[in-house]
Chain A
Amino acid sequence: MTLRILAVDDSRTMRDMVKAALASAGFEVHTADDGVHGLEVLNECTPDVIITDINMPRMDGFGFIESVRSIDQYKQVPILTLTTESAPELKQRARDAGATGWIVKPFDRDKLVNVIRRVAA
């Protein structure tokens, strides 16, 4: 079964990189530009795993994670934060919002793929 991934990042570069990395691993990758856009496309792509940046315009990663978690269907969908931030309090905030895991950019393709496989049911 092909895993569907939704990657939310305001950086086109990062979206392209995530998309390239994950598509080559056989995942079906959808992307969104920020939290608001992410919520808009959520139901179109019904992702198995969500990857989100933290710093984004309109709705940041924390807001996005909380919003996703407030939807019954996505209460337990794995959400990985992918960000250059590494400050502990930000990680804690992401955890509190309901994030499944935290991956630091720049990411290693194989590691990212492994993590997704590990958190995906």
Chain B
Amino acid sequence: MDPMDEIRQTFFLECEDLLQALMEGLAAIEGGDEDPETVNAIFRAVHSIKGGAGAFSLDELVKFAHTFETVLDEVRADRMELTPALMSVFFRSADQLSDLVEAASVGDSVDAERMNAIMLELDALIDSDGSDAGEVEFEAIPLDFSMDFGDVEDDLPAPGGDSWTISFKPHATIFERGNDPVLLLRALAELGETEVTCNTDALPDLADIDTAQSCLSWDITLKGETVSEDDIREIFEFVEGDCDLTISFGAAADALPEIDLPPLGAPDEGEETGWELATPSQDADEPAAIPDLPELQEPAAAEAAPAETEKSSGASPARAESSRAGPTATVRVELDRVDRLINLIGELVINQSMLAQAVSNSGVPQDSPLMDGLDEFKRLTRAIQEGVMAIRAQPVKPLFQRMSRIVREAAAATGKSVRLVTEGEGTEVDKTVIERLSDPLTHMIRNAVDHGLEQTADRAAAGKSEEGTVHLTASHRSGRVIIEIADDGAGINRTRVREIAVEKGLIDPDAALSEAEIDNLLFMPGFSTAKNVSNLSGRGVGMDVVKKAIQSLGGRVTLSSTPGKGTTFTISLPLTLAILDGMLVRVADQTKVVPLTDVVETLKLNPSQVHGLSNADRGIMVRGEFVPLVDVACELGYRPPLDKLSHHVVVLTETEGGSRTAFIVDQILDQRQVVIKGLEENYHSVPGIAAATILGNGEIALILDVAALATGRNRLSDVIRAA
């Protein structure tokens, strides 16, 4: 890869971290954090984004980051107070910055109107503050920079035959700052032929010499037809203020008027403008000195003096070491490498189980050292597997932080006052799961604000605080990740939900539904509670899509609701997408895997319990509950429907929301962990099949997609009608 492309990638990765730090900092401040280092950290995050963006000529991003940073700097310097209104601007600016970064990463542009609106707000803050207005313009102006010092004849080379005459008397400070006259003389000699005369008049006797002092001065004649004054100035750039310097051209130094910069004489004046090496890249905006805009120099210079006196107070980043610990040491690894490793471990797991099977087939006694070693091997393989999986695991924190933005936007769109409380942000989940959880979670959060929470007036009338709360919680529970979205709104209006379901023909008008069953109607395709589809949670996306998205991650979503108290959605996810605890079953001479999380129990089929005649509406009574029966072999096309069921086994499954399906299989073989091999990337998606795996004996086994196989048989309405 082109090194710059690689660095560009690094930049966008780093932006993610910086944006996260920015959001964290803002949230901390909102939560009452008054540590000045928090503001500093926020400032640095924006500043670093600006710095990197400049390197890649992401002009829009630079411009916005700069404006944002300028306002933050005012806060940092205690010149502006952090009001709730200002925090609101900061949050929106952070969102805008995040959008700009994302747009830049894909070469897109952002909504100009929104961008301008927030820019105006920020600009207004700067203008009202006044003091820094000059500096903003100072940097925002695109620059055509050519090492120009504003002198009249500076770009003229010395006319033929003439030479530059340079008089140079360094002060002691030149050494203190790590510069050295020898190096400057060397640089001059590189420009052209020099004739150097050293003036040693001021040199004291060895006994009296102060080695830190500068006692020599030089007169240099520089020949060089192509040398411009700029070339010479550039060499002395860092030492202006640390020396007396005159540059003139002509045969004799006094024959022509000197071309000189005014403030070179006195070492203690602030010669700010000279001490800088601008290193412009050709096309980037250059936040450097612009000498040919004199009106801008004035505020800048005026500012220098007061800033000087208050430099020990607030105007600077905290120099003291923060109590905050530095970032934890990390290694960045390409995801590809981790995935290759995961694949290899997968092979290892398969190999281990093949080995175990071979050993077991060979009739080795259970208590032999070989079996002990094999057990240890199995344990280690598992440990390695978990270790590698942990590499892919990431905290849900960034995901949750994005949700706070969703809440802000949703609250603004609905005119509600909403607080998002997050817990368990450190909970780690597979990276892919996190990525694919973003959309469904966004939708659920919007739903919680839009539908879950009441309007402010209604809340007040119900004696609740006007500010609604949405809790977003992540935790680990029995080998799965649980994510809860809980609002403290009015709860599900079950009467209304039922009416809608009837209107839409989803249920019979006189169906007897439990509360849980009514709640689960929300997940049915074609259901939408919104009276008018608002532009917020509407968008034609229903909870059924959310459910599908979560299912595709091997997850389940359930909900519970208490009238007047609120609604809680619970998402349960596997820790990883790469390993699955499965039940191995035999179906028409094929081995299939049923995900263990879907299995409730297994039963011996008793034909007397089977109700219904045709394959299509057959069901079974399990403890008084009617459950549809699905003949797996038939569904997958291995054999025609069986007329008569006899010595079969039933695997009772339960998918999200508690709907159950009984799968007919021929035999149950085993329970074990299998390595998931995706079909989609290797073959193509097959209805009813979630993925494949390789078993210990080398056989390929398909993993059943329980939810898909149940679909068509397991619609809630079917259950209800049958009941």
Contact = CB atoms under 8 A, between A and B. Distances in A.
Residue among B13, B51, B280 with the highest chain A CB neighbour number at 10 A: B51
Nearest to A120: B183
A3 interface: no
Interface stretch (B297-305, B378-386, B591-599, B605-613): B297-305
Nearest to B48: A11
Nearest to B173: A95
Interface in A11-61: 11-14, 16-17, 20, 33-34, 36-37, 54-60
B545 to A, nearest CB: 37
Contacts of A54: 317
Interface stretch (B218-226, B270-278, B388-396, B406-414): B270-278
B57 to A, nearest CB: 8
B324 A89 contact: no
Interface in B132-163: 135, 138-139
Interface centre among A12, A37, A98 (most CB of B within 10 A): A12
B464 interface: no
B52 A11 contact: yes
Contacts of B317: 54-56, 60
B10 interface: yes
A10 B52 CA distance: 11
Contacts of B304: 88-89, 92
Contact of B326 (A33, A92, A104, A108): A33
A4 interface: no
B52 A14 contact: yes
Interface in A63-102: 63, 69, 75-79, 83-84, 86-89, 91-93, 95, 98-102
B10 A59 contact: no
B326 A34 contact: yes
Given A13-B10, A88-B304, A106 B281 contact: yes
A11 B51 CA distance: 9
B566 interface: no
A87 B304 CA distance: 8
Chain B CB count within 10 A is highest, among A69, A99, A101, for A101
Contacts, number: 174
A84 B278 CA distance: 11
Interface stretch (B104-112, B243-251, B284-292, B466-474): B284-292
A102 B326 contact: no
Interface string A108-121: 10011001001111
Contact of B319 (A60, A101, A102): A60
Contacts of A86: 138-139, 276, 287-289
A76 B272 contact: no
B91 interface: no
B210 interface: no
Interface stretch (B233-241, B508-516, B554-562, B697-705): B233-241
Contacts of B270: 88, 92
Contacts of A60: 316-319
B337 interface: no
Given A86-B139, A111-B277, A112-B279, A98 B178 contact: yes
B277 A102 contact: yes
A108 B275 contact: no
Given A55-B317, A86-B288, A89-B272, A108 B280 contact: yes
Contacts of A77: 178
A121 B286 CA distance: 29
B321 A101 contact: no
Interface in B293-334: 300-301, 303-304, 307-308, 311, 315-319, 321-322, 324, 326-327
A106 B301 CA distance: 23
B11 interface: yes
Given A16-B7, A121-B180, A93 B287 contact: no
Nearest to A115: B277
B14 A92 contact: no
A108 B281 contact: yes
B51 A63 contact: no
B194 interface: no
A88 B273 contact: yes
B55 A119 contact: no
Contacts of B14: 11-13
Contacts of B54: 84, 105-106
A33 B317 CA distance: 16
A87 B273 CA distance: 9
A118 to B, nearest CB: 5
A118 B279 CA distance: 14
Contacts of B303: 87-89
Contacts of B277: 101-104, 111, 115
B551 to A, nearest CB: 38
A16 B7 CA distance: 6
29 contacts: A10-B44, A11-B51, A12-B10, A12-B14, A14-B48, A16-B10, A36-B321, A58-B321, A60-B316, A62-B319, A76-B178, A76-B180, A84-B54, A87-B300, A88-B272, A89-B272, A89-B308, A89-B311, A91-B276, A93-B311, A100-B179, A101-B276, A101-B277, A112-B279, A115-B277, A115-B279, A118-B235, A119-B178, A121-B180
Interface of B: 3-4, 6-7, 10-11, 13-14, 40-41, 43-44, 47-48, 50-52, 54-55, 57, 135, 138-139, 175-180, 182-183, 187, 235, 237-238, 241, 270, 272-273, 275-281, 284, 286-289, 300-301, 303-304, 307-308, 311, 315-319, 321-322, 324, 326-327
Given A84-B47, A87-B307, A92-B304, 17 more contacts: A11-B52, A12-B13, A13-B52, A14-B52, A57-B40, A57-B322, A60-B317, A62-B316, A76-B178, A87-B300, A89-B307, A93-B311, A95-B177, A105-B54, A106-B281, A108-B279, A111-B277
